[in-house]
Amino acid sequence: METDHDFGGDDWHGSHGPIPVRRAPRSRWLPHSVAFEQVCIDEGFPVDADQNHPESTGVSPRARNTIAGVRMSMAINYLDPARHRLNLTIRANVTVRRILFDDGATGSPRALGLEIESGGHIFKVAGREIILSAGAVASPQLLMLSGVGPAEQLGDLGIPVVRDLPGVGRNLRDHPTAAVLYRAKGEKPDVHAPVTQVGLRYTVPGSGLRNDMQISPMLMTSEHWPAHIPIDDGLNYMGIGASLQLALGEGELTLQSADPHAQPRLDFNYYREAEDLRRMREAIRLCVRLAERPPFSDLLLERVMPTDAELASDRLLDDWLRRTSDTSHHISGTCKMGPDSDPMAVVDQYLNVKGVAGLRVADASIMPDCIRANTNVTTLAIGEKIADHIKDGK
């Protein structure tokens, strides 16, 4: 899928794929990136040139699919080259309201089409097969709106049950993240300045899960800006964030309404597991140690959060984590793939929805767990794989 401009052509990196990937050379690293690598080395972490290698650990340049300031999205690299095809129609500003099924009188119910809304009109479209690729929030939402999901929840909302699948919306996985925040010296960086050029992967001491933590220095110009923390927009801030890659806990997505325009309820349920909280607590204390080592500390003025008192007490730091942790935008697992012996499994190995004909799900919702990395590339692999299944008639 990739063309890796740094490591292309070996066993672990592509050289002829649609997605260009490269790492910023050190000559272009911003001061916070240079300083972060140095403090990680001083803390005893190894330097690794390639964070995408399966044996990688330690501090590494971040591989990015941003070229000349433009993220090479799947719209650019997959969809645009196919727009001219006569067998493809792309409709913008269309809302899918529900999936349409037959009555199931001859066996398993079969998906026949969709009820959709566009321009204030509601109409139906038919299809030989329906494939949901609406993401880990909207795909389970659409299944439940259509009567495929936990029967009790659907009944409470007056939605006729087509197939009782209790796992739809369950097993919500993510990477809980929290950041230490500092007032920084100098002027605010440009909003287009590279936010993350380098990062640290490591195993939290005492954890049995390898490389279960990522730590990254951050400029406060991205989606990681802590919107729940009052800070002065005119001042310069810098942070170091920790993201738990293999959380043990799971959340749940539930419908709040049978209205397809109503946002479903997301209960991330972070830190239900004591081990998740312990690992994040240790990671935040490491973030503080790294930030307050020179040369990183030379860039800072004062710590905004957490306070010294919160850092000194496990109980207070746990409370701080519960108040300030946020999503890494890696929601997954809400229509998980699994064998028939798993009552919470929603799709099989070919991504067919269990007990329903003519319906598949192909997006991050089918992951049994949130992977130990950003979810973008794995989601692409899911799309590539289901394309092969469809072509092979599986």
Q: Which residues contact 197 (CB under 8 A, 6 or more apart)?
A: 23, 24, 28, 29, 30, 33, 61, 62
Is residue 127 over pLDDT 90?
yes
The distance in angstroms from the start CA to the end CA of the chain is: 22
CA distance 232 to 98: 44
Would you state the structure tokens that stand for residue 305, as one six-digit string? 């959060």
Arithmetic mean of pLDDT over the chain: 94
Helix (H) or strand (E) holding 221: none
Please provide the size of the chain in residues. Answer: 394
Pick from 110, 113, 135, 132: which is nearest to 122 by CA?
113
Chain-centroid distance, C-alpha 102: 34
Give the separation between CA 95 and CA 122, rounded to whole angstroms.
Answer: 9
Give the pLDDT confidence of 83-101 residue by residue, as tens digits.
Answer: 999 999 999 999 999 999 9
> Which is nearest to 323 in space by CA: 291, 354, 277, 368?
277
- Domain-wise residue ranges, the chain: 30-61+174-324, 91-172+331-391
| CA separation, residue 103 to residues 23, 106, 265 (Å) | 54, 8, 29
Distance, CA of 95 to CA of 91 (rounded, Å): 10
Catalytic residue among 13, 32, 224, 330: 330
- pLDDT of 102: 93
Segment 195-200 shows an average pLDDT of 91
Q: Please name the residue that has the structure tokens 């240790």.
A: 282
**pTM, to two decimals:** 0.94
Closest CA to 366 of 350, 387, 388: 350
Q: Which residue has the higher pLDDT, 196 or 390?
A: 390
In the predicted model, is pLDDT for residue 222 greater than 70?
Answer: no
Domain 30-61+174-324, CATH among 3.10.20.10, 3.30.560.10, 3.30.420.40, 2.60.40.10: 3.30.560.10
What does the alpha-carbon distance between residue 335 and residue 346 come to, in Å, rounded to a whole number?
5
Local confidence band at 195 (pLDDT 50, 70, 90 cut-offs): confident
Q: What's domain 91-172+331-391's architecture? A: 3-Layer(bba) Sandwich (3.50)
Residue 330 is a catalytic residue: yes
Cis peptide before 166, with omega less than 30 degrees from 0?
no
Q: Which of 104, 158, 100, 106 has the alpha carbon at shortest distance from 127?
A: 100
